[in-house]
Amino acid sequence: MSQINVTRSSMPEYKEYCEEIKELWESRWLTNNGKKHNQLENELERYFNTENVTLFVNGHLALEIALASLKLKGEVITTPFTFASTTQAIVHSGLTPVFCDINDIDYTIDTDKIENLITEKTCAIMPVHVYANICDTEKIQKIADKYKLKVIYDAAHAFGVTKDNISVACFGDISMFSFHATKVFNTIEGGALAYKDSNLKESLNIFKNFGQQGEDITEIAVNAKMNEFAAAMGICNLRHIDGEIEKRKKVVEHYRRLLSNVQGIKLCPEQKGIKSNYAYFPVVFDGYKYNRDEIIEKLGRENIFARKYFYPCTNEFSAYKDLFKIQDTPVAKYIAQRVLTLPLYADLSIEDAERICNIILK
């Protein structure tokens, strides 16, 4: 029996990709603002319906450069129920994460708990659209305006999602998207920032290219440029993205139908006004006949590998021990101990989705 992993990368037909990269053998222009890079940047601005998109080698460095370009110092309010990257970007940038708990409906930041965490050192809020569940962006913006804080969304999961027909790329000051192989849209590895202030464009381009401006180095910075082969993969994948999301939707509909209204199994409700990208399917086992770890074992015996996204919470990482005061986040901790994300990708067959549900329910 073939193995089913939690995700499987979307790819164009082999021929389509070959056609896309062919001209690179003539131009010999492989990176540094190449033609493919600039084309993908423009196409994403159109796709997001935003004015400003800048590409990066990966989502993580995009996030770090977002923080650097805004010249932030001090504390950043964020959540620990996320991939390591969110918190690592803050800490690696010399900022202090202040952990806000999540709500127990969609697992995004609990906006009722943000204001209590604001101090004179707070400079920004970095919420996460976790599983492509969209944060309460209005409430967050209200708080940010009141206290003059920047808002940087970790939108790594939320490619192509809209809220009341507005792209999520339009919320906050900056949103980061990851184009890692495992994400809904991939450039093999890659990422992007979408942002409001057009003046940031020049600065972001400097920050992703060693801080170089002409002959001088004007910023302390890294190398985070996207190469032409990655951009070409993005151009191809973007042609098929709507179809891929549609196929994911079919899988999710089956999961929802088979796992809804089961005692002890909790699903995230569909969010009102949100057009989803069906990035993940988290299931919380709370009082079910098997606990989360027993379900992992049952699936594993059938060669099916679901993942504990996200366990442990980032505020439990030993790397941060003794570095700063770590806030307790009981809801995040509770969910992290019980959540499992089921296999979900465009090419997952309906038969396999049903088989996975049957193993869980048996």
Ligand X SMILES: *Cc1c(COP(=O)(O)O)cnc(C)c1O
Write out the residues near ligand X by the rule CB under 6 A: 58-60, 82-83, 85-86, 128, 154, 156-157, 178, 180, 191
Q: CA 217, 223, 229 angle in degrees (round to 5)?
A: 135
Taking the least distance from each CB to ligand X, the nearer of 114 and 128 is 128
Q: CA 71, 75, 78 angle in degrees (round to 5)?
A: 105
**Distance in angstroms (rounded) separating the CA atoms of residues 9 and 178:** 13
Q: Which residues of 138-154 are buried (b: 16+ CB within 10 A; e: fewer)?
A: eebbebbeeeebbbbbb
Could you tell me the smallest distance in angstroms from the CB atom of residue 60 to ligand X?
3
Could you tell me the smallest distance in angstroms from the CB atom of residue 226 to ligand X?
11
Could you tell me the smallest distance in angstroms from the CB atom of residue 130 to ligand X?
7
Could you tell me the smallest distance in angstroms from the CB atom of residue 340 to ligand X?
16
In the complex, residue closest to ligand X by CB: 59
Taking the least distance from each CB to ligand X, the nearer of 107 and 285 is 107
Taking the least distance from each CB to ligand X, the nearer of 290 and 305 is 305
Please state whether beta strands 216-217 and 265-267 pair in parallel, antiparallel, or not at all (unpaired).
Answer: unpaired
**Distance in angstroms (rounded) separating the CA atoms of residues 124 and 138:** 16
Taking the least distance from each CB to ligand X, the nearer of 245 and 360 is 245
Beta-bridge partner residues of 109: 102
Sequence-ordered alpha helix ranges (H) in the chain: 14-21, 24-27, 35-48, 59-69, 84-92, 137-147, 200-207, 228-239, 241-259, 292-301, 330-336, 350-361
Q: CA 22, 25, 29 angle in degrees (round to 5)?
A: 110
- Per the CB < 8 A criterion, the answer to whether 17 and 233 are in contact is yes
Taking the least distance from each CB to ligand X, the nearer of 111 and 187 is 187
Could you tell me the smallest distance in angstroms from the CB atom of residue 189 to ligand X?
6
Could you tell me the smallest distance in angstroms from the CB atom of residue 307 to ligand X?
11
Place of tokens 């970007």: 89
Taking the least distance from each CB to ligand X, the nearer of 278 and 288 is 278
Taking the least distance from each CB to ligand X, the nearer of 68 and 156 is 156
Taking the least distance from each CB to ligand X, the nearer of 156 and 335 is 156
Q: In the 8-state DSSP scheme, what is residue 101?
A: P
Residues 6 or more apart from 133 whose CB is under 8 A from it?
Answer: 106, 107, 108, 268, 271
**Distance in angstroms (rounded) separating the CA atoms of residues 161 and 277:** 6
Taking the least distance from each CB to ligand X, the nearer of 162 and 175 is 175
313 φ, ψ (degrees, to nearest 5): -65, 150
Could you tell me the smallest distance in angstroms from the CB atom of residue 150 to ligand X?
18
Could you tell me the smallest distance in angstroms from the CB atom of residue 58 to ligand X?
4
Helix, strand, or coil here: 58?
coil
Could you tell me the smallest distance in angstroms from the CB atom of residue 310 to ligand X?
8
